[in-house]
Amino acid sequence: MRDEALTPEARPTMMATPRAGTGDAPVVVAARRTPIGTAGHAFKTVTADRLAAPVIAAVAADVAHLGVPVGDVVLGNCTGPGGNLARVSALAAGLGHEVPGVTVDRQCGSGLAAILLAGQAVRSGEMDLVVAGGAESASTAPLRAHRRPEGEIPVPYERAPFTPEGHPDPDMGPAAEALAAARGVSRERQDAYARRSHARALAAREAGRFAREIVGVGGRDADQRPRALRAASLARLPAAFVPQGTVTAGNSSPISDGAAAVAVVPERLRAAAGLPGLRLLAGAVVGCDPGLPGWGPVPAVRRVLSRAGAGIADVAAVEIVEAFAAQVLAVTDALGLDPLGADDERVCADGGALALGHPWGASGAVVVARLFSRLVTGGAPPGTLGLATAAVGGGLGVAALFEVV
């Protein structure tokens, strides 16, 4: 069910000149990530700060020649142990006692929200260099329990509520089923998209496109999960969340461990150093129906495009956190994108979370690192636009529009 009014009538265009009034705009000038491991496997004993520290250190080293001290570390995280993970990770990365750190929780959008907050600090002139991103270690996340009367055994719970009593608060699997039903996304398309994600991730790894962004952890320097999928095998998988449903383990992302970080500086510093980068043109965090949280990227993307005076046809590269194939397809249908057809090279061209994994607090930063590799490291011309977006439990959407400079 596509919103025809938003369907692009032309292939992506390149903006020939930088936009006016962006002299102090925030620019991403370095981006790194860890390999992503399935929870309980590759990084099963590696805590979130030990995942985050190597990428923070690598990003800081990438921009050390600027001679600008890191002003802050902003790190997204959902299920960690608390204690201001960003501060712990900054110290573990060797940035020094003077670098503070702040931890952000917008659930699956945390990593991207952290980058937007870093951009705001840079745009305001308060800081000249902020390292931002996210980290998640589902493998080592502490178990939580409801407090009980004295003498009674505490009762564990799976997750914190995303909404208060009286509002819908579905788990993400059933929410993906509801969105697929509401937007008419078939099981066949979901399975086809999952196969595409894995195939493209395998091809990107074979071509070395991930190697240039990955910082090894514990001797591992490659993502654990991508594999060849057969249509017949996917078709045999049962519904994972709702009887007779369409969302399965095969077209859903796995619970994962990983981290990603970027360096954000003002445009004046980037230009003086002659560095290529991704200038942040617009960012948005919006709310939507908490019963259909996967819909959040649609209003978020529409808002950032409107603020930037751009259309979806102007965007050359789109990275969306692939929590579920159903959710990706519902969003891309509404935005006028066809990742299984005409927009195969635009949307998650090297695969996404379905193949790589979904470390919740980090995934929003992972998609920015992917944009950086695709557009900046890949040599896209100045003016090329890239879009990053994520859906968030509880009914939120996060999006950011970037321009190659």
What's the rounded Cα separation, in Å, for the pair 344 and 196? Answer: 9
Q: Which residues of 246-273 are buried (b: 16+ CB within 10 A; e: fewer)?
A: bbbebbbbbbbbbbbbbbbbbbebbeee
| Angle in degrees, CA 27, 392, 280, rounded to 5 | 10
Cα distances (Å, whole numbers) of residue 202 to 207, 298, 366: 9, 28, 17
Residue pair 297/323 in contact by the 8 Å Cβ criterion = no
Taking the mean position of all CA atoms in its chain, how far away is CA 358? 8
What's the rounded Cα separation, in Å, for the pair 185 and 193? Answer: 11
- Name 333's Cβ contacts closer than 8 Å, sequence gap at least 6: 1, 2, 3, 183, 185
- Decide if 358 is catalytic: yes
Q: Please identify which residue in the block is written with the tokens 């002003």.
A: 71
What's the rounded Cα separation, in Å, for the pair 212 and 236? Answer: 36
Residue 109, burial from CB neighbour count under 10 angstroms (0-12, 13-18, 19+)? buried
- Decide if 108 is catalytic: yes
Tokens of 137: 């270690």
Tokens of 105: 């929780």
Question: Could you say which of 78, 108, 288, 348 is catalytic?
Answer: 108
Measured on CA atoms in the order 52, 58, 63, 67, is the torsion positive or negative? Answer: positive
DSSP element (H, E) containing 398: strand 396-404
Query: How many CB atoms within 10 Å of residue 390?
Result: 34
Q: Please identify which residue in the block is written with the tokens 């654990």.
A: 224
- Please name every residue paired with 358 in a beta bridge, in sequence order, or none if there are none: 255
Residue pair 14/384 in contact by the 8 Å Cβ criterion = yes
Q: Please identify which residue in the block is written with the tokens 């005076």.
A: 309
- Name 65's Cβ contacts closer than 8 Å, sequence gap at least 6: 273
The secondary structure of residue 145, as a DSSP letter, is E
What's the rounded Cα separation, in Å, for the pair 212 and 40? Answer: 26
Catalytic residues: 108, 358
